[in-house]
Structure 1
């Protein structure tokens, strides 16, 4: 009986001392994102970057998932979509009917980037750049897709500026992974020229990691400055505002420094002027009847 107990203790000790299979599988799964073979100055293929790459794209735009392979020799580079294990490309050939996918590979370069144009929300997920070595090596790239960036001009959609004052418009573009790019201002369909003979046209740009702010200034506003002003960022949807330049009291222009711009939305200013006119007419009518 004692010999059986000793044998049981030995078996339990042996089993407990074995490495945990479950733990090893989890560890291997996490390490798969960093697998590579070969080193510089060797004949084995290896990736220029062995870390999990995270790419953020904006829906409707073009994006490239990076993959650079050194010492490729005659081996093939393939792109696999992990969601359905679909082979997208092999070498420079595309193996999908979706023509949005293709390989960006300048001749004699180490670059084998996967280009998607345009990106959709469904494209989010992990893609693998694989090299046909033995054993096979691969580099996962995670793609996140965000909504279209949109510009916004502060204030109402329709404003009234007094003749002679300064038109000041502030456009804010919330940015994601990409910069908003160049911000262009238009009046109607004409791009504003900051060096035009009119003078007094300038813009200020402020950029932070989360937004880009473009401030447009037009000093000594005149009737000809009225129009539809559009803030058009390179990588975001445009925003617009309708500007009316109106005369001051008694139809006389007001100097820019003597009065602030009248930022009144809609037709509230016109409505108030009509009300004043009606009151004046009533007073005149009453004065005539009392004579």
Structure 2
């Protein structure tokens, strides 16, 4: 612990006070000397192990010719006078939805003080030291003995965890703090091409899915036909190949497409917005009929407009003919 050194120094001082006490009255001072109840009580409570360590430290100082009392006293004062310091550089942490976030707070010379984590969005105190003040079990403070780093860990991060977190250390002169900005990223998937995919029976279905905005490439990309996962339908002519990276690419290939392959296809990865496309497998004539049916409303609108223009032209021509006695062709 960070407070061990000052305590050990005081132990050594108490041990030497006991070991170096004169056996008789000194020539120049009264005897017995005034009793320091605090020192006597502290020394009486020392364990054998602590006394041994203190005596060994004092012996080493004596062997080196160092004035033991002065060295120990100065070291104790220096330890008590040290003020904690904190790395107050703001940090941005990028974590994928569902991942684990680690927010770091390095503090030196902490001593017996504590580090607190606060969520700035609602000023909720999450922790003080290693003690938690939240019922959300996803939050935990990680700290190793001897380390200067106090880490706030958030498991299975959600969108609502997005925001700024602050670690604080209270000192005699004020409060030291460090801000950490947590950004929750939701990867997105999209399938190349339009929302509909038309293919003739007997040909090959080729679909390509792109996944981006992912700090870590997904381990798996799954393809679904309607509600059924088809990644491993090799016996049915289905193959899937995935190339992970900053923009993960997954290709679905189905040989000898049949009308049964028609339907909704979905590309999905963990903690990623999925992508969808509808595939139509039909004979050539059926494909043409589907195309014509899709465009029939536009054709009807154009025909109606043509008829209207023709009638308008005849009306205008008739009006002009009655005034000029000329015929319209």
TM-score range, shorter chain: 0.5 to 0.7
Separation in 1, partners of 2:120, 2:189: 35
SS of equivalent to 2:92: strand
Separation in 2, partners of 1:231, 1:196: 17
TM-score by length of 1: 0.55
Question: Against the structure 1 CA distance between its residues 197 and 73, is the aligned structure 2 distance closer, same or farther, given a 3 Å change threshold?
Answer: farther
Q: Which residue of 1 aligns with 2:198?
A: 160
Q: Which residue of 1 aligns with 2:319?
A: none
Matched, 1:140 2:179: yes
Q: Which residue of 2 aligns with 1:269?
A: 291
Matched, 1:218 2:240: no
Separation in 1, partners of 2:179, 2:118: 9
Q: Which residue of 1 aligns with 2:92?
A: 54
SS of equivalent to 2:260: helix
Q: Which residue of 2 aligns with 1:88?
A: 126
Q: Which residue of 2 aligns with 1:64?
A: 101
Number of equivalent positions: 211
| Superposed displacement of residue 142, structure 1 | 1.9
Contact 1:181 1:235 in 2 (8 A): no
Contact 1:205 1:214 in 2 (8 A): yes
Q: Looking at CA atoms only, which structure, 1 or 2, has the larger radius of gyration? A: 2
Matched, 1:230 2:266: yes
Q: Which has the higher helix share?
A: 2
| Superposed displacement of residue 138, structure 1 | 4.3
Contact 2:243 2:250 in 1 (8 A): yes
Q: Which residue of 2 aligns with 1:188?
A: 226
| Superposed displacement of residue 224, structure 1 | 3.2
Q: Which residue of 1 aligns with 2:116?
A: 78
Relative CO higher for 1 or 2, CA cutoff 8 Å, sep ≥ 6?
1
Q: For 1:112, which of 130, 146, 151 is the aligned residue?
A: 151
Question: Against the structure 1 CA distance between its residues 54 and 244, is the aligned structure 2 distance closer, same or farther, given a 3 Å change threshold?
Answer: same
Q: Which residue of 1 aligns with 2:5?
A: none
| Superposed displacement of residue 112, structure 1 | 2.6
Contact 2:221 2:242 in 1 (8 A): no
**1:48-89 residue CA offsets vs partner (Å, 9 max, x unmatched):** x8753211346x645524226588786533202346654222
Separation in 2, partners of 1:270, 1:102: 59
- Provide the alpha-carbon RMSD of the alignment: 4.2
| Superposed displacement of residue 217, structure 1 | 1.5
Uncovered stretches (5+) of structure 1, i.e. residues with no partner: 1-42, 252-261, 275-291
Separation in 1, partners of 2:292, 2:182: 52
SS of equivalent to 1:197: helix
Question: Against the structure 1 CA distance between its residues 234 and 104, is the aligned structure 2 distance closer, same or farther, given a 3 Å change threshold?
Answer: farther
